[in-house]
């Protein structure tokens, strides 16, 4: 039997290859599109993607993680569940298509109607993918998933750029989501084909109902807590401010997605085997938290002090208004990197009930911060501060619930993992504050390179000489393995 460590390393390695290769593709495509398409057009697409994501929650119903968690589903039951999701998906897709006119009227944007109608294809494609993709994750076929993701992302990026260069305008922004969802669904279905039945398969659904029920309601709550800011900014502050905000938010999410989204897809399938051994599960999780705390908290400092350079280099000077929002949101990157893994642990512990409770608490905090920013202070910066404070409070309550009610263990070992990362962050803040006095008037690329060198050098030296991780030994080991393989 393959060890948990090997499964995690294998899964993370293949996922990382796809994700980190995807960073390059994503940054290049985004940099080109940001110079060809206006902030208001980005705002319109942001609204459409948020709304379709809401409908997508109802087509998924928390079924995908429930399939991963349940080890006893037969082929017949999987086909029944597939049929159920597909029929639901058809209904939701038609409903979204019909409601597109009302959505466009609410936001006073005629073009939003045709955009939503085109995106209704996504809902159908994504429901086709639910069961096959869950089986890929359940069977730990991370290499296949990585290759699939990378190839489709590369092709979608090329097509989007070609379309934008030929005057497609905001419609070029639709190519990636539509092309990706359809292609991913077809590839996944070919890998794990399912039989379509007339029945809704309620008997088979009942086997995963308890898990999926709380997962579904968590997804609903999490959706609103994560997307209400965009919905309200688009309605009450306008599409152009939403465009600036959306770019700041997306840029903040880029390191988050490409660090934790390498780990979290692997965590649930691998760690779910410890659902009856919570002590072992908690011990395994602490090792992950320690690594993420070092990476995330130091990265937050770097992003905060390099926000101007990053926005101008990636998007161009026309997006200068995004800098302050990105700087505020970047403070939360470290917390969000760790917080984003909590869902996988609740799932692996077979405790979506407490995940839902934690999600409700998070939603109250997040919505309160967003409403204060939009309706009391009425600035994008205020919204960013409201969200940042809410994330800090969410971090505290989520892990309190996890250790108190799921693990039934003391939270002290968890908190100890942050002592050394906080010291490293304090050192970086001091050094960046000093460096900023000398580089603020420099060329932005040169300034960014200097800050990057400082960030990497100080972080590696700290980790090496505080014996957090023996980097030198790891490099020597890799070198020896490389030389032995050549011989």
User: In a structure prediction context, what are the per-residue pLDDT tens digits for the chain, which is 487 residues long?
Assistant: 445 555 555 555 555 555 556 666 777 787 788 888 888 888 888 899 899 988 888 877 788 888 888 878 888 888 888 898 899 899 999 999 999 999 999 998 899 999 999 999 998 999 999 999 889 888 878 778 878 888 888 898 889 889 888 888 888 888 888 998 999 999 999 998 988 887 777 777 888 877 888 888 888 888 888 889 998 998 999 888 998 998 898 888 877 766 666 677 667 777 777 778 888 889 988 988 988 899 899 999 999 999 999 999 988 888 899 999 999 999 999 999 999 889 889 988 888 899 999 999 999 999 999 999 999 999 999 999 999 999 999 999 999 999 999 999 999 999 999 999 999 999 999 999 999 988 878 899 999 999 999 999 999 999 888 877 777 777 777 667 656 666 5
Burial label, 61 (beta-carbon count in 10 A; 0-12, 13-18, 19+): buried
Rounded CA gap, 87 and 85, in Å? 6
Pair 372, 385: CB distance under 8 Å: no
Tokens describing residue 466: 């505080």
> Contact at 8 Å (CB) between 208 and 72?
no
C-alpha–C-alpha distance, residues 328 and 308, integer Å = 12
264 vs 342: CA distance, rounded Å = 9
Rounded to the nearest 10 degrees, the angle between the axes of helix 111-138 and helix 172-191 is 30
Residue 15, both tokens: 């996922």
Look up residue 381 and give its two tokens: 């910066």
- Euclidean distance between CA atoms 302 and 461, whole angstroms: 16
List the chain domain ranges.
1-207, 236-487
Asked whether the beta carbons of 369 and 390 are under 8 A apart, the reply is yes
């Amino acid at each position: 039997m393959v060890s948990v460590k090997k499964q995690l390393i294998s899964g993370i390695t293949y996922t990382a290859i796809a994700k980190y290769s995807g960073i390059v593709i994503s940054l290049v495509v985004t940099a080109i599109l940001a110079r060809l398409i206006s902030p208001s057009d980005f705002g319109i697409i942001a609204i459409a993607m948020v709304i379709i994501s809401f409908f997508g929650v109802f087509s998924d119903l928390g079924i995908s993680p429930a399939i991963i968690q349940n080890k006893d589903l037969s082929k017949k039951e999987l086909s029944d569940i597939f049929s159920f999701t597909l029929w639901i998906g058809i209904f939701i897709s038609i409903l979204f298509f019909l409601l597109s006119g009302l959505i466009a009227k609410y936001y006073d944007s005629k073009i939003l109607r045709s955009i939503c109608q085109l995106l209704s294809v996504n809902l159908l494609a994504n429901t086709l993918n639910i069961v096959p993709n869950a089986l890929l994750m359940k069977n730990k076929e991370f290499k296949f998933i990585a290759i699939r993701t990378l190839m489709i992302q590369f092709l979608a990026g090329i097509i989007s750029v070609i379309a934008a260069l030929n005057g497609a305008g905001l419609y070029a922004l639709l190519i990636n989501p539509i092309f990706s969802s359809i292609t991913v669904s077809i590839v996944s279905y070919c890998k794990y084909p399912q039989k379509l039945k007339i029945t809704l398969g309620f008997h088979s659904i009942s086997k995963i109902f308890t898990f999926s029920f709380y997962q579904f309601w968590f997804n609903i709550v999490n959706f609103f807590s994560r997307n209400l800011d965009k919905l309200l900014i688009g309605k009450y502050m306008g599409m152009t401010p939403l465009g600036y905000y959306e770019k700041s938010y997306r840029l903040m999410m880029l390191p988050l997605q490409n660090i934790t989204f390498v780990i979290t897809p692997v965590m649930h399938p691998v760690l779910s085997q410890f659902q009856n051994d919570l002590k072992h599960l908690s011990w395994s999780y602490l090792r992950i938290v320690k690594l993420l705390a070092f990476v995330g908290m130091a990265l937050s400092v770097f992003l905060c002090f390099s926000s101007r350079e990053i926005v101008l280099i990636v998007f161009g000077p026309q997006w200068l208004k995004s800098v302050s929002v990105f700087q505020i949101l970047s403070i939360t990157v470290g917390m969000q990197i760790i917080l984003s893994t909590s869902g996988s642990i609740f799932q692996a512990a077979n405790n979506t009930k407490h995940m839902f409770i934690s999600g409700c608490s998070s939603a109250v905090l997040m919505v309160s911060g967003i409403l204060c920013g939009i309706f009391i202070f009425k600035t994008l910066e205020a919204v960013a501060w409201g969200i940042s404070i809410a994330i800090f409070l969410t971090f505290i309550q989520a892990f309190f619930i996890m250790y108190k009610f799921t693990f039934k263990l003391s939270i002290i070992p968890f908190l100890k993992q942050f002592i050394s990362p906080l010291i490293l962050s304090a050192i970086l803040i001091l050094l960046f504050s000093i460096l900023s006095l000398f580089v603020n008037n420099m060329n932005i690329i040169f300034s960014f390179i200097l800050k990057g060198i400082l960030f990497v050098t100080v972080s590696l030296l700290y980790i090496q000489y505080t014996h957090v991780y023996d980097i030198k030994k790891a490099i020597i080991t890799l070198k020896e393995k490389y030389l032995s393989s050549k011989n």
